[in-house]
A and B are shown apart, each in its own frame.
Chain A
Amino acid sequence: MQDLVNIFIKGVFIENMIFAYFLGMCSYLAVSKTVNTAVGLGFAVIFVLCVTIPVNYLLEKFILSAGALEWAGMPDVDLSFLSFIMFIAIIASIVQLVEMLVEKFAPALYGALGIFLPLIAVNCSILGGALFMQEREFETLTEATVFGFGSGVGWLLAIVAIAAIREKIRYSNVPAPLRGLGITFIITGLMGMAFMSFMGIELG
């Protein structure tokens, strides 16, 4: 249990997708003009990460990694070079599937998340999450899922925070060439520095 909490805290604060790895920056910069849309996209990212990371974990564990095909009687096969294409195919199709399911069974949620779901297929934080999951070699499915959830929460936190700051900064006198994109980059950098103070936190 403590391990899981550690993985979660690490995903949210210490190895924050945005501030430590710059993953999902494109949508982070493009969709952070108002808090409402930022919250919508943030939840969509959490949702998709929680679905795709476990699926990709199983794929990695039972098909792609070296010796994983032992259950099929092929212990010498190493398909790990296929992981990029498999991960992105899984992500794109799951996003499509999730979009259809949500539209059918939860129209209200679809109204809130709908426009963001297609965007998410090419959000680097999703593929990045899958690749980090592969690199860190989690032992159980639960660990991988918690990692996905934690990363998603960290991403939500970052985008909501920057959206709130951008809403307020409209009233300040930023030098003209720095307006918009430039100042957003610099603020993100400063927030990243603040987040670095979480480094080294470990429970237990």
Chain B
Amino acid sequence: MSEAAEELKAPAIKEKSEPLFSKKNRKLLSDPMDDNNPVTVQVLGICSALAITVQLEPSVVMGVSVIVVCAFSNLLISLIRNLIPDRIRIIVQLVVVAFLVILVDQILKAFVYDVSKQLSVFVGLIITNCIIMGRLEAFALQNKPWPALLDGIGNGAAYGAVLVLVAFFRELLGSGKLFGADMLLWLGYEPNGMMILPPMALIVVGLIIWAQRARNTKLIETH
């Protein structure tokens, strides 16, 4: 009995001997940053985020929250991937994600209450952030926990990077500040109120996509 169990364990141990940051695993982290960016290439997860990119601080907090939720939901789902019946997997995934989001929300309320008020419903909306569901469906359900964790961190970070980039331009041009500290105002810069309005978030993302695709021509769509 115990011999059989050991035999079963053996291959798992063997596979683990692959270095933790092998080339393949590093690719999981770096790929989402450019070629496979969840926001600008796969069009996922824009829903819950653009409204909070008026300033850098909430965007950074939001980015970190999404990294945490994405990484740990990937890890958890990957751990129980063989136990989930196929038909009810969406509900199982939603419950796991919702559980993590509640944790994040309570932590934000406890430690950075102001930012949590600013983010209002958008923390809750991480639950329906398509990046997270998309990664669970496409990656975590088929892969081992460690690559799944890395994939989650990579995608969460790529999403956070886009958020921070958008917020950088919007706060710098919209109020002449970064993280609330004066950057351009002392030069006599007149803040452009337009940048603070919601539509400009979309236009900034559109321009970022333009810049990225002009550089990386294989991403261009035919229509």
What is the interface of chain A, defined by CB distance below 8 A to chain B? Answer: 19-26, 29-30, 81-85, 87-89, 92-93, 118, 121-128, 131-132, 135, 170, 175-186, 188-193, 196
Contact = CB atoms under 8 A, between A and B. Distances in A.
A135 B123 CA distance: 13
A178 B125 contact: no
Contacts of A82: 102
Contacts, number: 154
B203 A189 contact: yes
Given A127-B124, A177-B214, 12 more contacts: A23-B125, A24-B47, A81-B102, A122-B94, A124-B47, A126-B128, A128-B128, A178-B209, A182-B206, A188-B202, A192-B199, A192-B202
A196 B210 CA distance: 25
B94 to A, nearest CB: 5
Contact of B210 (A87, A122, A177): A177
A194 B128 CA distance: 28
Contact of B205 (A30, A125, A185): A185
B198 A22 contact: yes
B223 A179 contact: yes
Interface in B162-181: none
Nearest to B43: A29
A88 B127 contact: yes
Nearest to A124: B47
Nearest to A179: B221
Contact of B91 (A20, A21, A92, A191): A92
B141 interface: no
B189 interface: no
Contact of A183 (B95, B201, B206, B211): B206
B48 interface: yes
Q: Is chain A's binding surface mostly helix, strand, loop or mixed?
A: helix
- Residue among B102, B121, B127 facing the most chain A CB atoms (10 A cut-off): B121
B67 interface: no
B144 interface: no
Contacts of B200: 189
A189 B199 contact: yes
A175 B213 CA distance: 11
Given A127-B127, A127-B128, A180-B221, A85 B91 contact: no
B125 A131 contact: yes
A109 B39 CA distance: 33
Contacts of A131: 121, 124-125
Interface residues of B, number: 50
B154 interface: no
A118 B93 CA distance: 14
Contacts of A81: 102, 105-106
B206 A128 contact: no
A26 B45 CA distance: 6
A5 to B, nearest CB: 24
B101 interface: yes
A127 B199 CA distance: 22
Given A26-B44, A127-B125, A196-B199, A178 B95 contact: no
Contacts of B91: 89, 92-93
A178 B203 CA distance: 12
Given A177-B217, A189-B200, A22 B223 contact: no
A84 B188 CA distance: 45
24 contacts: A19-B198, A22-B48, A22-B51, A22-B198, A25-B46, A26-B46, A26-B47, A88-B94, A89-B91, A122-B133, A128-B125, A131-B121, A132-B121, A177-B209, A177-B217, A179-B220, A181-B40, A182-B207, A183-B206, A186-B206, A189-B203, A190-B203, A193-B197, A196-B198
Contact of B121 (A118, A135, A188, A192): A135
